[in-house]
Amino acid sequence: MDTRSTRAVFLDRDGVINSDQDLYYVTHPDQFVLNEGIGEFLKKLQDAGYLLIIITNQGGIAKGLYSHQTLAEIHKKMLQQLSSYGVNIAEIYYCPHHPDYGKCLCRKPESLLIEKALARFHINPQQSFFIGDRESDIQAAIKAGIQPVRTEPNENLMKYLQILL
Ligand SMILES: [Mg+2]
Ligand SMILES: [Zn+2]
Protein backbone atom coordinates (compact mmCIF):
# COMPACT_ATOMS: atom_id res chain seq x y z
CA MET A 1 0.00 0.00 0.00
CA ASP A 2 1.20 3.45 -0.88
CA THR A 3 1.40 5.41 2.36
CA ARG A 4 2.40 8.72 0.80
CA SER A 5 -0.38 11.09 1.67
CA THR A 6 0.37 14.27 -0.24
CA ARG A 7 -1.90 14.95 -3.20
CA ALA A 8 -0.67 17.19 -5.98
CA VAL A 9 -1.90 18.75 -9.15
CA PHE A 10 0.91 19.01 -11.67
CA LEU A 11 0.53 21.72 -14.26
CA ASP A 12 2.04 22.35 -17.63
CA ARG A 13 2.84 26.05 -17.98
CA ASP A 14 2.39 27.40 -21.52
CA GLY A 15 -1.24 27.05 -22.63
CA VAL A 16 -2.36 26.03 -19.14
CA ILE A 17 -1.17 28.77 -16.77
CA ASN A 18 -0.41 31.43 -19.36
CA SER A 19 -1.41 32.28 -22.89
CA ASP A 20 0.35 30.22 -25.55
CA GLN A 21 -0.87 31.88 -28.73
CA ASP A 22 1.41 32.88 -31.58
CA LEU A 23 4.52 33.47 -29.54
CA TYR A 24 5.61 29.83 -29.43
CA TYR A 25 8.09 30.79 -26.72
CA VAL A 26 7.69 33.34 -23.95
CA THR A 27 11.04 35.10 -24.10
CA HIS A 28 10.41 38.10 -21.84
CA PRO A 29 8.26 38.81 -18.76
CA ASP A 30 6.19 41.29 -20.80
CA GLN A 31 4.99 38.40 -22.97
CA PHE A 32 3.74 36.44 -19.97
CA VAL A 33 -0.06 36.74 -19.64
CA LEU A 34 -2.09 34.60 -17.26
CA ASN A 35 -5.01 32.71 -18.77
CA GLU A 36 -8.50 33.72 -17.75
CA GLY A 37 -9.70 32.04 -14.56
CA ILE A 38 -6.42 30.31 -13.73
CA GLY A 39 -5.91 32.19 -10.45
CA GLU A 40 -9.35 31.28 -9.14
CA PHE A 41 -9.01 27.71 -10.43
CA LEU A 42 -5.69 27.10 -8.69
CA LYS A 43 -6.98 28.65 -5.47
CA LYS A 44 -9.83 26.12 -5.44
CA LEU A 45 -7.37 23.25 -5.89
CA GLN A 46 -5.09 24.61 -3.18
CA ASP A 47 -8.01 25.02 -0.78
CA ALA A 48 -8.95 21.39 -1.47
CA GLY A 49 -5.51 20.35 -0.20
CA TYR A 50 -3.57 19.87 -3.43
CA LEU A 51 0.07 20.82 -3.70
CA LEU A 52 0.59 22.76 -6.93
CA ILE A 53 3.67 21.99 -9.04
CA ILE A 54 4.59 23.24 -12.50
CA ILE A 55 6.43 20.99 -14.97
CA THR A 56 7.44 22.84 -18.14
CA ASN A 57 9.58 22.30 -21.23
CA GLN A 58 11.62 25.41 -21.96
CA GLY A 59 13.60 24.38 -25.00
CA GLY A 60 13.99 28.02 -25.94
CA ILE A 61 16.92 28.09 -23.54
CA ALA A 62 18.78 25.44 -25.55
CA LYS A 63 17.96 27.46 -28.68
CA GLY A 64 19.45 30.60 -27.14
CA LEU A 65 16.14 32.50 -27.29
CA TYR A 66 16.29 33.40 -23.59
CA SER A 67 18.48 32.67 -20.60
CA HIS A 68 17.97 30.88 -17.29
CA GLN A 69 18.03 34.36 -15.73
CA THR A 70 15.25 35.64 -17.98
CA LEU A 71 13.20 32.52 -17.27
CA ALA A 72 13.66 33.21 -13.55
CA GLU A 73 12.29 36.73 -14.12
CA ILE A 74 9.32 35.35 -16.06
CA HIS A 75 8.62 32.92 -13.23
CA LYS A 76 8.96 35.64 -10.62
CA LYS A 77 6.25 37.59 -12.44
CA MET A 78 4.08 34.46 -12.65
CA LEU A 79 4.43 33.72 -8.93
CA GLN A 80 3.66 37.34 -8.03
CA GLN A 81 0.54 37.35 -10.18
CA LEU A 82 -0.66 34.03 -8.79
CA SER A 83 0.02 35.12 -5.23
CA SER A 84 -2.47 37.96 -5.71
CA TYR A 85 -5.07 35.16 -5.87
CA GLY A 86 -3.64 33.60 -2.72
CA VAL A 87 -2.05 30.82 -4.79
CA ASN A 88 1.28 29.31 -3.77
CA ILE A 89 3.22 27.17 -6.26
CA ALA A 90 5.31 24.60 -4.36
CA GLU A 91 7.94 24.27 -7.09
CA ILE A 92 8.61 24.92 -10.75
CA TYR A 93 10.56 22.24 -12.59
CA TYR A 94 11.75 23.03 -16.10
CA CYS A 95 13.69 21.28 -18.81
CA PRO A 96 16.01 23.74 -20.59
CA HIS A 97 17.03 21.26 -23.28
CA HIS A 98 15.87 20.69 -26.82
CA PRO A 99 16.27 17.52 -28.92
CA ASP A 100 17.81 19.54 -31.78
CA TYR A 101 20.75 20.27 -29.46
CA GLY A 102 21.13 16.97 -27.64
CA LYS A 103 19.20 14.35 -25.76
CA CYS A 104 18.08 14.68 -22.17
CA LEU A 105 16.04 12.67 -19.71
CA CYS A 106 13.92 15.47 -18.34
CA ARG A 107 11.96 16.86 -21.29
CA LYS A 108 8.32 15.80 -21.41
CA PRO A 109 7.15 13.20 -22.53
CA GLU A 110 9.83 11.88 -20.17
CA SER A 111 8.71 11.81 -16.55
CA LEU A 112 11.97 12.54 -14.69
CA LEU A 113 10.89 15.97 -13.45
CA ILE A 114 7.63 14.53 -12.15
CA GLU A 115 9.53 11.71 -10.42
CA LYS A 116 11.76 14.27 -8.72
CA ALA A 117 8.73 16.09 -7.36
CA LEU A 118 7.06 12.87 -6.23
CA ALA A 119 10.15 11.96 -4.20
CA ARG A 120 10.84 15.39 -2.77
CA PHE A 121 7.31 16.14 -1.61
CA HIS A 122 6.25 12.54 -0.77
CA ILE A 123 3.41 12.75 -3.26
CA ASN A 124 1.08 9.84 -3.87
CA PRO A 125 0.78 9.64 -7.69
CA GLN A 126 -2.46 7.70 -7.50
CA GLN A 127 -4.13 10.64 -5.77
CA SER A 128 -2.66 13.24 -8.09
CA PHE A 129 -3.39 14.76 -11.49
CA PHE A 130 -1.45 16.27 -14.37
CA ILE A 131 -3.11 19.04 -16.37
CA GLY A 132 -1.66 19.66 -19.81
CA ASP A 133 -2.64 20.78 -23.29
CA ARG A 134 -0.31 18.55 -25.31
CA GLU A 135 0.19 14.86 -25.89
CA SER A 136 3.68 15.07 -24.33
CA ASP A 137 2.07 16.16 -21.05
CA ILE A 138 -0.29 13.21 -21.11
CA GLN A 139 2.51 10.72 -21.85
CA ALA A 140 4.69 12.08 -19.04
CA ALA A 141 1.79 11.81 -16.59
CA ILE A 142 1.03 8.23 -17.58
CA LYS A 143 4.72 7.23 -17.22
CA ALA A 144 4.68 8.63 -13.69
CA GLY A 145 1.42 6.85 -12.81
CA ILE A 146 -0.54 10.08 -12.54
CA GLN A 147 -4.00 10.61 -13.97
CA PRO A 148 -3.80 13.03 -16.92
CA VAL A 149 -6.32 15.76 -17.66
CA ARG A 150 -6.10 16.97 -21.25
CA THR A 151 -7.23 20.52 -21.90
CA GLU A 152 -7.49 22.77 -24.91
CA PRO A 153 -4.78 25.47 -25.07
CA ASN A 154 -5.61 28.63 -23.09
CA GLU A 155 -9.08 27.59 -22.02
CA ASN A 156 -10.69 28.52 -18.74
CA LEU A 157 -10.10 25.45 -16.58
CA MET A 158 -12.99 25.94 -14.16
CA LYS A 159 -15.00 23.28 -15.99
CA TYR A 160 -12.47 20.64 -14.91
CA LEU A 161 -12.95 21.35 -11.20
CA GLN A 162 -15.56 18.63 -10.80
CA ILE A 163 -13.07 16.01 -12.04
CA LEU A 164 -10.44 17.18 -9.58
CA LEU A 165 -12.45 17.86 -6.44
MG1 LIG B 1 1.46 23.53 -23.02
ZN1 LIG C 1 15.86 18.20 -20.33
Chain segment 38-58, per-residue pLDDT in tens: 999 999 999 999 999 999 999
Domain-located, residue 2: no
On whether residue 1 sits in a domain, the answer given is: no
Q: 160 in helix, strand or coil?
A: helix
Dist. CA 14 → ligand 2 center (Å)? 16
The reported pLDDT for the residue numbered 24 is 79
Instruction: State the amino acid at position 40 in one-letter form.
Output: E
Residue 57 lies in a domain: yes
Establish if 120 belongs to a structural domain. yes
pTM of the model: 0.96
Residue 3, domain member (yes or no)? no
Flag whether 65 is in a domain.
yes
Nearest ligand for residue 17 CA: 1
CA 79 – ligand 1 centroid, Å: 18
Q: Could you list the residue range(s) of the whole structural domain that residue 139 is in?
A: 8-164
Whose atoms come closest to the Cα of 58: which ligand? 2
Give the tens place of pLDDT for each residue, 15-46.
999 999 866 799 999 999 999 999 999 999 99
The answer to the question of residue 155 being in a domain is yes
CATH of the domain at 62: 3.40.50.1000
DSSP string, 76-116: HHHHHHHHTTT----EEEEE---GGG---SSSTTS-HHHHH
DSSP structural state of residue 165: -
Residue 2 pLDDT > 80: no
137 alpha carbon to ligand 1 midpoint, in Å? 8
**CA distance to 71, 84, 96, 103, per residue, from 60 (Å):** 10, 28, 7, 15
Residue 126 C-alpha to ligand 2 middle, in angstroms?
Answer: 25
Residue 27 domain flag: yes
Q: What's the total number of domains in the chain? A: 1
Residues marked as catalytic: 12, 14
